[in-house]
Amino acid sequence: MCIKGKKGVTLKKPNYLINKFEYLFGEDQGRYLIEIDKNNLKDVIKILSENSVHFDELGTVNDDDLIIDDKSKLSIDDLIKSHTTWLTNYMSK
């Protein structure tokens, strides 16, 4: 979503996790990410709760950085560059 949308995100890790990277970047079949306007958050929480849907609030959109727990920060430009050149870089070694 960051690469395609060219927007950053500030991610927060729920306290009950052992491995934040598996949680934040795993591609399990039963999980979906949705991006909503902050003005709609209460309505979405109400709908999910009324339908017994487990959810976590992962973070907020920012202008240009991927920030994880205020400890790791990567610019979206660097993320895009890494995403588009990793195979070429790997094969040239």
CATH number at residue 24: 3.90.650.10
Provide the residue-wise pLDDT of the chain in tens; the chain has 93 residues: 889 989 999 988 777 766 777 777 777 777 788 899 999 999 999 999 999 998 888 899 999 999 987 778 999 999 999 999 989 989 997
Question: Residue 13 CA to chain centroid, in angstroms?
Answer: 10
Q: Which domain holds residue 74?
A: 2-91
pLDDT of residue 11: 87
Give the chain's domain count: 1
pLDDT of residue 89: 87
Distance CA 36, CA 61 (A): 10
Across 44-71, b (16+ Cβ under 10 Å) vs e yields eeeeeeeeeeeeeebbeeeeebbbbeee
pLDDT of residue 48: 96
DSSP helix/strand/coil, 32: coil
pLDDT of residue 21: 74
